[in-house]
Chains A and B, each alone.
Chain A
Amino acid sequence: MTARAIRPPARWLALGVVAAMAGAIALELVREARYPRDTVAEAVLYFPPGRAVTRLALSYDALLADVYWIRALQHFGSTRLKKDLGEKTYALLDPLLTITTTLDPQFNVAYRFGAIFLSEAPPGGPGRPDQAIALLQRGLEAKPGHWRYMQDIGFVYYWWLGDYRKAAEWFNRGADQPGAPWWMRSLAANTLAQGGDRRASRALWQSLAQTPDNDWLQRDARRRLQQLDALDAIDELNARVRRYREAGGGQPFTWEALVRAGLLRETPQDPTGTPYELGPYSGEVTVSPESSLTPMPTEPPRIAPQP
């Protein structure tokens, strides 16, 4: 028998490869369905937070930092999309960001975005401004004198903790750094004078919207400004609903009632073009759950007026 005669036909070999691969994939699917594993928890287990991480990474620490950055983004995004509120714990966000910034201490965006993610109130985020501040302070250890991190720390104190004295302190500290813009000083002054006032909040977000650091930061700041515009509009709409009731119209169940009464020209829409909702029983105006502005922020408490 010649060697050619005993060689199996190529199509049988190809079929064998396809069959074996299909079988392997089928078994993998069955295993995933029967014994699901928490993939993100596994991802964290690859490396414990700490300096040892950089040693284990040899000279590939920057690339590993990118991998952990993407994991942090995926964890934040996927947790945010979960329907079950009990699952929205964001428990791995801080460890993932810590690993990212330990691997690459110069990873500017990981500090800045990370702080935004960490301080975002539930259910949109873990509501951990303390961790956000700690992250930014680690950024300052890596880049001492980086006024943007100081601005961000001041911002967390202002917006999420309502501690205007601390916020102003950080804005002032940022203003003292070489290259800091002139408006940092007025930001500090405004914060002390009108903390919690919507105008002061708007000035704060406008300063972030002008940041050239990143498109994403600018987009987020613009969205926050739209939310503030929506809050202004809601105040105005609530006033018109009250006027309707005081004029003897009773509880308006729909916007049409206010349009017919001449209090509105048309169904009011938020800055994204989604109609506002009018609570049929409470009469309270809110942003629609369908709007991209949802969830709306809880405004920080207003500073007590000076006597």
Chain B
Amino acid sequence: MAGYILKRLLSAIPVLLGITVIVFLIMALIPGDPATAILGSYATPENVEKLNRDLGLDKPLVQQYFIWLGNMLTGDFGTSFALNRPVLDEVLERFNATLVLAGTAFVICSVLGVAAGVVSAAQQYGLADKAITFVVLLGISIPSFFLGMMMILLFSVNLRWFPVSGMWPIYGARDIWALLDHLVLPALALAVVATGVIARLARSAMLEVLRQDFIRTARAKGVPERRVIWGHALRAAMVSIIPVLGIQAGFVLSGAVYIEMVFQWPGVGRMLVDAILKRDILLVQGGVVFVAACYVLFNIAVDVAQSLLDPRIKT
């Protein structure tokens, strides 16, 4: 198993390098002179030239890439112009907040989505199946930012159950209860779409599995139906559900940007949008590379989980 994990980690290296190349190339697309883009059109030519030199932008593209990559490997992601602070510090702090939000949403969508899919398949064409299918359709069709706004209207403004926005109360203790209180609505809003996608897939995976011969064997043994569904069938269906959980994790992680905007959550997505609007290129670059790298590592964890679940996978 340790060998398998190491192998997967090594195979991630070219992917991570590829990600840096793609981000670098995208940033190289910036029309005109990046320094002008950063400093604005009123910058003096001397300042632009100095900045270009400071950024190493006077060098050839390939050399620029390796300088940038080398710096990142030593933990130097550059300095944010707008914030005047090291990019990595800012990204790490913001990523923490995103991780809390996206992590919670991921747990919610995995548990709810799989459960809904299983119930739906077990009651195929029944009332529960129809209700779940409808809610799921609604869930995958509603923009998460619109859903978030409607949740604020209903649960925060009208019912006053939860705070309207933010991660912490402005006054008062910053304890776990305060965090949970602020977390419920954004995490739910973020989880809805992924829940729908997972529920759909879990339903069809379960239907596929329930027709297999080993389900008939379990029933012939006298295994209670509840255990046939939630044990035998779900265990087998997880083999095709887990890769989708991995994909959905990416959607939750990057889709957090909308929810962070709606709920004023101090996460990395909001940071990126602000940085894009302020043309804070280094911050965008650093943020994107960092989040994408984390996602690649997360997918390795998914593969490892998959190999633990399915003994037929050669490790």
Our verdict on whether A and B bind, yes or no, reads: no
Contact surface of B with A, Cβ cutoff 8 Å: none
